Structures are given as C-alpha cells and as structure tokens.
A and B are shown apart, each in its own frame.
Chain A
Amino acid sequence: MADLPQIGVSCVEYVLDSNSVSLEQLETRGLLVSSADRLRAFGFSEVKLSSETPHELANRAAQKLLEAGDIDPLSVDAVFYVGATPASHAVGSPAAMSAFNYPVAWLQYELGMSRAVAYGVSQLGCAGLMTAVSSARDYLVSRPQASRVVCVSSDVLPEGCKREMIYNVISDGACALLVEKSQPPRNRILAYRQLTKGYYWDSIARKNEIAAAYFPTAQTVIRETLAEAHTDLSEIAWILPHNVSARSWEILLGLLETGGERLFTQNISKIAHVIAADNWINLKDATSLGKVRPGDRLLLFTFGFGANWACMVLEH
C-alpha cells in the first residue's frame, strides 16, 4: 500500500472588524445574559462586531489568503465554505428563491477559483472549520490529482442578537485556510477526532446537559486524538484553544492534568469567541508572534453545537 500523501494547513488568514465593543457596552445594549463583571472574571474583555454580511467577510478573508499565500486561484481544486448559522448559507434577499443563493458559489466566482468544486459545510457550530479541514484532507487523499483546498469560515450574528451563549461571548469574523499536499507540509495534520452526540442536538433545551457533558467528553476526545497521533500532552508545544472562557479552559486543563503555560490564551480577552475560527486565528497569531517553532506539535480543540467535540494535532 502506497504511503498516504502528507497534508497540512499551509496558510491562514482572517478578518475581524477593527472596532471593538467592550463587555460594558454590550451590557448597556442588553446583549449579555450575565453581568459584564462576571464575564470579565471569566477571561473576556471585548468583542468584534461586524456590519458586513457573512459572505462579504468570507470574501475578504479568502482574498487575503490568496494574496498572502501568493496562491493562483486556478490552482485550487475545491473550496469548502463553513457557516454555523443558517444566515451564513444564503445571500439573502426578500425573495424566497434567495435561500438558494449559496455563498460558496459566489465566492468561487468572485475569487476566480474556476477549477474548484464548491461545498457548503453547515450544522456543525463552532466545530465547522476544523471539520472542513479534515474533510479537505480526506478530499486530497482520495484524489491523487488534487493538491489544494481552500476552507473559508464566516459568521455574523444578527444585529441585536445576544452575544453571550452558554457563558461565552461571541464575536463576528471570517477565517480562510489553505489545505494542501506539499513536501514537507506546513502544519501537517497528524490526527483528527470528532465526536458527535445527537442527544444534545437541542442547544436550548439541553443547555445545562451540554455544559455538564462538555468537560468529560472533551477529555475523552483530546486523549483519543493524542493517541491517534502517537503522542501525549507532554509533547505538545502549544494548545491552540477555541476562545471559550479562560475559566472553562482552566477546568479542562485540570481534567487533562496539565498546567496552562502552553495554552495560547491572549485572544480570549482580545477578540473572544469567533465561532469556528478561533483555533486557526490562534494558529496564525501564535506563529506570527514567533511562539511556534518548526517541528512543534500543536493541539487544537473545539466544541460546536450539534453537538460536536473535535480535536486535531498538527506538526508545524
């Protein structure tokens, strides 16, 4: 049996609105459930709100990716567009038919990725982009002629929507990744595990059960992913989190019996939880700050409504 091609996430770009909104401002506008003080104690400080549509944000992120990575749009074999909410999956207008105006097709056209086949990835909540990366890897493995997949995630919550969900504070934003075969690959994907528990599909009715199930299931998925990567937590240079509360990460690290010194936390306070984009924004920023060295192993974990627990181990 031939060796599987080596595949990695070679380029990451993201866009967030430049204007930050503080927790206190959110509280004044009635967009929080808990008090600003409480959420600040849990590690949050401010959020990014966007006035753009999800597909406009996605377009900007993908454009930035193509430019930064000097990527020929015609070299892209597939594009995966990820959105956690239904609003992200239609370029809306009052016409009923607009529900079929899919942003992934628009993106393919706008960005000139004429050879790329287009896929929408939905119903995975904040785990969507990691699932897309895994699917992109599978796509490339199964097609010897294909070499590049662009994954784009974008979500903008409706105006006036509560910004606090299960004790976390949500930002708008978009992130684009290039998943490709290369030798040697950058951010090579060593392992990926996803666990879906449909019992928790109703995120309103089962809010408390989700909060309780989150920790032991996260512990299981992370341990299984590390085992699949033939590594353990002591060999992980950085944990790149989804930006849920710093408090919940402190608890999860307790379950994993490790300290927080390798957890990249700076974005929890600065940009809060950008739906599916967090881990990849953190990968980009940790790399830009020179914190990640060649050969470092990185652990990315996220949870998405649905309910999906997902974990990936990369080698930088």
Chain B
Amino acid sequence: MGHVVLLTGAGGMVGEALVPVLAARADVSQIFALAHKAGVRVRHENVIPISGNLQAGSDLGMSDDIQGQIRDRVSVIIHAAADTRFSAPLTESRAANVEGARNLLSFAVHCPRLRGLVALSTVHVAGKRTGLISEDDLEHCEGFVNSYEQSKYESELLLRQSMPEVPISIVRLSTVFGSSVSGEVGKYAAIHHALRLYYHSLAPMIPGTADSPVDLVALDFAASAVAHLATEHFEPGRTFQVCGGADVLTVGKMLELTRQVFLQYRPSWRKRRIAVPAIVDLPTFNLFVASVHELGDHLLQHSVSVIEHFAPQLAYPKMYDDRHCAGALEEANLRKDPVSDFYPKVVRWLVESGWADRTIVSEAVLG
C-alpha cells in the first residue's frame, strides 16, 4: 500500500510541479491535491483535486465528507500552500503563511495514519543575515527584506514548536527559476518579472555587489527533491535546504548571462543598446526607489515595486549550506544540474515564449 498524500497549494508553482512527480512514484497511491483559487490543472488517475482554504480554520475549508476521507487515509502531508507575494502587507502574509500552517497542524493531529508532514519554506527565512546559513539555523535578530520572509520565518518557529506533537520536517527552497530540462516556467515569479523589466529598459539598478551570490534552483529538481524528502527519506525534526548550495551565480554573472541570451535569441534587442542594470549599494538603491515613489509616474513606480521587495536581499550576501540535503538526495541519485546550464535555458524559454511581449504598460495599468 503506497502513501496517501495531502498536498496543499497544488495550484501554485511548486505544487503544480509536484503533482506529476508524486503521481509517478511507485510508493504513492493517491494524492489529494488541495488548491484554493487557482485550481489544479494536472489530471491523473491517482490525483483527486479538492478545493479548500487553509485560512478557513482547522477544517481547511473542506467539506465534512472530504475531510473524513483524508483524515482516515492520509499518511503524508506536503504543505506547499503559501502567499508568496513579497509586497503583501505583513498581516496578509501572516494570515496565509502562519495561520494557514497553524490550521494545518490542527488538522494534522487528527490524522491517525500520518507518518510525516513536510512543510515547504524558503531559505530567505535567513532575512538580512549574511555569511553561511546552515540547515539547522533559524532564529536571528537581523530583520527581513519583505513580509514573505518574515511570515515564513514565523511559520517555521511555529512548526518547530509543534515537532513534539507532529512528525514534521521543513524543506526550504531557494529561488525556484524554471525547468532544467525545457527551461519552461509554469508561473512567473518576481525574478522573471524583474528580468522582463531589464528586457524593456525599465531596470536601472539593483543593490548588491557584482560578486553577491544568487542562489537558484531548477523547478524539476526542487519537485523531485521535495517528493523524495516527503516519502522515501522522511526525517522528522530535520530541516533541508534545497538550493544551489556551493553552485551559485553571482549578480554580475547572472546579468551577463541574461544579456547574452537576450542578444542571441532576440537579435532585434541588440539595436536597443539597453544598459545592463548598475549594481549599487543599498542606500543608493533605496534613494532611487524613494525618488521614483515621490516623483515617478505610474509605470515607473510599478516597475520599481516589482524589484524593491526582493532585490535588497542581494545586499545581504549569503550562501546556503545544503550538505545534509544533498546527502539525502544522493541516495536516490538526485543530482542538480549546474546553474550555469539551466539558467540560460530558462531565460531562453522566457524570450521564446513571448514572455516579453505583454507590455509593462498594460500590466501597470491593470495593476
């Protein structure tokens, strides 16, 4: 008898990638794919799409019948639901990411067959810390760049407190970029929007230094890693960092690779002679942002708002230790592709998919 999995956030970027990976595993017999607004696009005989809302309470907004089925049968919960908006007010981020986790824990304690709950988090719970961040690290007083980081940090605190009652492990993902195979990006995140601003000459500067590390992880690798850590290698009480680890780009290298791909796959872009964004210190970046908010028009303000809630993270250089995670994945022969291989592939996919063709103007007007 294989695992019966409850996957929250099945309509999100990572959740959507997880559904087929879980469905393809021999040790998984059924997946309850819980989604809120987005719904579940993936269709598979073992996948039961259900709608719910983690903020609704400990019933997760599900009908009594569905709740009963899941409670009786579920052996693995993968908590991928999150409000990943960097610009959301902290109260909204907390409602989704802290209270949502609290409700899920309340639900989980009433699941008698539960063997493990894997909660997805972010390496950015390290906030404004710098240096090497280990997988066991959590508590710090350095502050955060945005409400998403802070709410996920608070969520991890809650999950750690609950570990004596519920078998929990935490899987922190770094910035998920796209498929290492096809380059495809299912759902755009802040980094994809930021690259589009560069493409359209609306990204004048980013904070940091040229050698600030940028940790990216491929979506397919992240999904396979989460599936493995939730099933075959579930280890309660542990935190795993699914990230580039030692294999990172620098800001300078990332911008150069981006420019090369734009030039190669959109030759018409060359004649625009768009400048590579300047890399500046944080006070200069903040002064620019403040100036745009004071005087800039709607389009420029919109462009800046895309960047301002996550790019300052680059001014707090850090590397993520993933040795424990890498060891756990090694046993399943799960190895990540070098970032210098998949990064250009994803940018190429973006360029060729027409990602740049929706104008920033319409987006700004639509909000």
Interface residue A71 (Cβ < 8 Å from any Cβ of B): no
Closest to B269 in A: A199
B interface residue count range (under 10 / 10 to 19 / 20 to 34 / 35 or more) = 20 to 34
Contact with B203, one of A34, A206, A212 (Cβ below 8 angstroms) = A212
Q: How long is the Cα–Cα vector from A38 to B291 in the complex, in angstroms?
A: 10
Query: Which of chain B's residues have a CB closer than 8 A to the CB of A247?
Result: 287, 291
Given contacts A38-B295, A219-B278, contact A251 B284 (CB under 8 A): yes
Q: List 23 A-B contacts (CB under 8 A).
A: A38-B294, A41-B294, A42-B291, A42-B295, A167-B296, A199-B271, A199-B274, A207-B297, A208-B303, A209-B201, A211-B296, A213-B274, A214-B204, A216-B205, A220-B275, A247-B287, A248-B291, A250-B287, A251-B287, A251-B291, A254-B283, A255-B280, A257-B281
**Chain B interface residues (CB < 8 Å from chain A):** 200-205, 271-278, 280-281, 283-284, 287-288, 291, 294-297, 299-300, 303
Other than the known A211-B300, A215-B205, what 4 A-B pairs have Cβ atoms closer than 8 Å?
A38-B294, A213-B201, A251-B287, A255-B280
Q: How long is the Cα–Cα vector from A229 to B294 in the complex, in angstroms?
A: 37
A255 touches B275 (CB 8 A): no
**Chain A interface residues (CB < 8 Å from chain B):** 34, 38, 41-42, 167, 197, 199-200, 206-209, 211-217, 219-220, 247-248, 250-251, 254-255, 257
In angstroms, how far is the closest chain A Cβ from the Cβ of B14? 32
Q: Nearest 4 A-B pairs (CB), nearest first?
A: A254-B284, A216-B275, A216-B278, A199-B272
Contact with A213, one of B271, B275, B287, B288 (Cβ below 8 angstroms) = B275
Among B278, B283, B294, B297, the most chain A Cβ lie within 10 Å of the Cβ of B278
Q: How long is the Cα–Cα vector from A169 to B65 in the complex, in angstroms?
A: 68
Q: How long is the Cα–Cα vector from A9 to B364 in the complex, in angstroms?
A: 47
Q: How long is the Cα–Cα vector from A215 to B280 in the complex, in angstroms?
A: 11
Q: How long is the Cα–Cα vector from A219 to B200 in the complex, in angstroms?
A: 19
In angstroms, how far is the closest chain B Cβ from the Cβ of A115? 41
Query: Which of chain B's residues have a CB closer than 8 A to the CB of A216?
Result: 204-205, 275-278
B303 touches A212 (CB 8 A): yes
Q: How long is the Cα–Cα vector from A38 to B296 in the complex, in angstroms?
A: 11
Query: Which of chain B's residues have a CB closer than 8 A to the CB of A220?
Result: 275
Closest to A207 in B: B297
Q: How long is the Cα–Cα vector from A247 to B273 in the complex, in angstroms?
A: 26
In angstroms, how far is the closest chain A Cβ from the Cβ of B34? 41
B295 touches A34 (CB 8 A): yes
A254 touches B274 (CB 8 A): no
In angstroms, how far is the closest chain A Cβ from the Cβ of B205? 6
Q: How long is the Cα–Cα vector from A197 to B271 in the complex, in angstroms?
A: 9
Query: Which of chain A's residues have a CB closer than 8 A to the CB of B283?
Result: 254
In angstroms, how far is the closest chain B Cβ from the Cβ of A264? 20
In angstroms, how far is the closest chain A Cβ from the Cβ of B133? 28
Query: Which of chain A's residues have a CB closer than 8 A to the CB of B271?
Result: 199
A199 touches B204 (CB 8 A): no
Closest to B272 in A: A199
Query: Which of chain B's residues have a CB closer than 8 A to the CB of A219?
Result: 278
Given contacts A199-B272, A216-B277, A250-B287, contact A255 B295 (CB under 8 A): no
B294 touches A255 (CB 8 A): no
A255 touches B201 (CB 8 A): no
Query: Which of chain A's residues have a CB closer than 8 A to the CB of B204?
Result: 211-216
Q: How long is the Cα–Cα vector from A281 to B342 in the complex, in angstroms?
A: 53
Among B271, B274, B283, B287, the most chain A Cβ lie within 10 Å of the Cβ of B274
